[in-house]
Amino acid sequence: METYKEIRKYPEFSSIPVVLFTTFHNRREDDYWDSENVATFTKPATFKELTKSIREILNYCLPR
């Protein structure tokens, strides 16, 4: 969270999408990240799930 807040202090970084790749979720943090429009992904347990997560992250980050 501290790193995210630091990055957002600089206008030149404001258009960079931020993705959080985490091992856990809790409701309070989920609400915070949702309010900041930060995509969150839980680290998967299998290679197949990892591949799916990577595709989702790239779809989120790449301009359409």
Q: How far apart are CA 35 and CA 38, in angstroms?
A: 8
In this prediction the pTM is: 0.66
pLDDT tens, position by position, 10-53? 999 888 888 888 887 788 888 999 999 888 888 888 999 999 99
The alpha-carbon radius of gyration of the chain (Å, integer) is: 13
Distant-in-sequence, close-in-space partners of 30: CB < 8 Å, separation ≥ 6 = 40
Which of 1, 64, 12 is closest to 38 using CA atoms? 1
- Quick one: pLDDT at residue 12? 93
- Quick one: pLDDT at residue 37? 86
- Quick one: pLDDT at residue 49? 93
- Quick one: pLDDT at residue 51? 94
β-strand pairing of 39-42 with 19-22: parallel
- Quick one: pLDDT at residue 64? 58
Residue whose tokens read 């915070």: 32
- Quick one: pLDDT at residue 17? 85
